[in-house]
Structure 1
Amino acid sequence: MTQAHPYKTLISAANLLANAQKPNWVIVDCRHDLMDPGAGQAAYAAGHIAAARFANLDRDLSGPKQAADGAFKGRHPLPDTDALIATLRRWGVSDDTQVVAYDAHGGMYAARLWWLLRSIGHDSVAVLDGGLAAWQAEGQPLTTREPTPAPGSICAKAALTRSVDAHDILINLTSQRQIVIDARAPDRFRGENETIDPVGGHIPGAKNRFFKDNLQADGRFKSGHQLHEEFSTLISEPRAAVMQCGSGVTACHNLLALEIAGLHGAALYPGSWSEWCADAARPIVKGV
């Protein structure tokens, strides 16, 4: 079935180039560095795809780290829906907008925006396959000019995503109804070389699927067929799977890969390891 905005998972640099000037397309630069939070903004200022808006992971794609009761929600909790809508409208996003998110990190941050838009029912959103490098490989220049978009009018609709919280994960330790997949690097999963969170290890029973394993050597995603084969060795029923990582960001990369693979319905644990390990009463495992 032909649709006005067919890009719902990935878009190639060539297809973005062919459509980038359309008035109902919005491009968002999601570059970031967990160890240097100002690096993404600096990279954007130095040069970005023409008309791209900048999304700050901490400010635009995350919410407050503390809950109303003072509990720590993790390093990158989901933003409040009203705050997310306000940000998207500021970027000029409306209900009929095709959004394209990109970064320079294999989609690890762009996938977060992809998931967030789907969480408010907007499925016309895709990640630039291969990121900024793929765009530049098309011979396209970057610009330092920042756009001044007219306000958009997007509204929240029924979510196309699912999420769970720490309580759900705790209950699952006994029920084992859900399989938890951790997107962090294997050494961090084992509790080694932890430099971001105060405690190393992983949630008991979790399996490891490093998000970078979703990519080919050139930084583009593997084919849907290959991703389906690889994820099927970990999960038999996507709706009985929960994706997590360090703080709910790269878990979205695994969720995007599942969507590309045709494995729909897995949930996100937004607080992920950063929230889980903040409570000493929650069990942890080290090693494999």
Structure 2
Amino acid sequence: MYDLLISAEQLRALKDQGTRLMVFDCSFELSNPAAGAEQYRQAHIPGAVHADLDTALSDQGMVNPDGTHHPHPDAASGGRHPLPSREKFAMWLSSVGFANDMQAVVYDRQNSSFCGRLWWMLKWAGHEAVAVLDGGLQAWQAAGGAMASGEDPAHFQSNYRLGPPLRRLVGTQEVLAYLQDGRHTLVDARAAPRFRGEVEPLDPVAGHIPGALNRPFTQNIGPDGRFRPAPELRAEFQQLLQGRDPAGVVHHCGSGVSALPNLIAMELAGYGPSGLYAGSWSEWSRDPARPVARGG
């Protein structure tokens, strides 16, 4: 079982052995939401299922007159990419034929910026056997892996059964409480200018949650597109936390997606699972009564 990362060579071995697995292509472009599906159609790992951030991994609900989304009432979080309920997510898994006894492998073309979302959601659904393809589609191609094109393959309907959550979802009210308790540390994965409040291209207010630490998610990936070595990641998280309890870390970003490379990197570094505030800054900043900090 692979439960964190898997290499292209390891994935090829699983496929050659006939292991029961499903590969998910999570390619996406925030600036062009239709691009991920087109990238998938042009080239993907044979048998891979496309998992679109907007339509499969979010519960967007209704579109407001100003173009923002009003989450579905049973969504598990707010923000620009609201998490669907666990039950709705299980229905989607069943619709693509994913079963409880399968190994899941997730990848994208964007330096693991989006596939971490599905990795976390499967853990949250109670599924341990899910791994990120380290280096993404580029690593698979560089290793000589076969490629396919076209639409999603046909699958028989399954009956995916939810298990106890293996990762922790944190809500806004919990974050508000954490600001006072001193036992939790918020880690913001957005780029430093957005964290400092110098620019804000997407959300109504610039800045960050008071007390949050900044670690841009791009720092976890090396020039080869793979996660950086565990000792380097551990040293950097130790420097970031400055003695704070790593068990109290809660990750967030703009909409709960790019926080996941930080969360995965912490686990690669040898720390236990940490929390995810999936609503993130896009949910926090919608209420003017919530406190906002700016600067470093």
TM-score (norm 2): 0.90
Task: Give ranges in structure 1 of 5+ residues lacking alignment.
Answer: none
1:67 Cα deviation (Å)? 5.6
- % identical equivalent positions: 43
Q: Among 156, 159, 172, which residue is 2:162 paired with?
A: 156
Corresponding position of 1:247: 255
Corresponding position of 1:134: 139
Q: Which amino acid is the alignment partner of residue 12 of structure 1? A: S
1:78 Cα deviation (Å)? 1.2
For residues 53 and 163 of structure 1, what CA distance do their matches in structure 2 show? 25
Corresponding position of 1:282: 290
Matched, 1:80 2:85: yes
Matched, 1:265 2:265: no
Q: How many equivalent pairs are there?
A: 282
Matched, 1:95 2:100: yes
For residues 169 and 193 of structure 1, what CA distance do their matches in structure 2 show? 23
Question: Do the aligned residues in 1 keep the contact of 2:184 with 2:245 (CA within 8 Å)?
Answer: no
Over 3 Å counting, the alpha-carbon distance change for 1:69 and 1:92 in structure 2 is closer
Q: Among 9, 14, 33, which residue is 1:19 paired with?
A: 14
For residues 72 and 37 of structure 2, what CA distance do their matches in structure 1 show? 27
1:106 Cα deviation (Å)? 1.1
Alpha-carbon displacement from aligned partner over 1:100-125 (angstroms, at most 9, x marks no partner):
00001111111000000000110100
Question: Do the aligned residues in 2 keep the contact of 1:238 with 1:265 (CA within 8 Å)?
Answer: no
Matched, 1:147 2:147: no
Matched, 1:115 2:111: no
Question: Do the aligned residues in 1 keep the contact of 2:74 with 2:84 (CA within 8 Å)?
Answer: no
Q: Following superposition of structure 1 onto structure 2, how do residues 162-201 of structure 1 map, counting pairs within 5 Å?
A: 162-201=168-207
> Which stretches of structure 1, 4 residues or longer, exceed 3 Å deviation after superposition?
67-70
For residues 92 and 20 of structure 1, what CA distance do their matches in structure 2 show? 17
For residues 141 and 112 of structure 2, what CA distance do their matches in structure 1 show? 16
Q: Among 34, 49, 54, which residue is 1:38 paired with?
A: 34
Task: Give ranges in structure 2 of 5+ residues lacking alignment.
Answer: 61-69
For residues 106 and 176 of structure 1, what CA distance do their matches in structure 2 show? 33
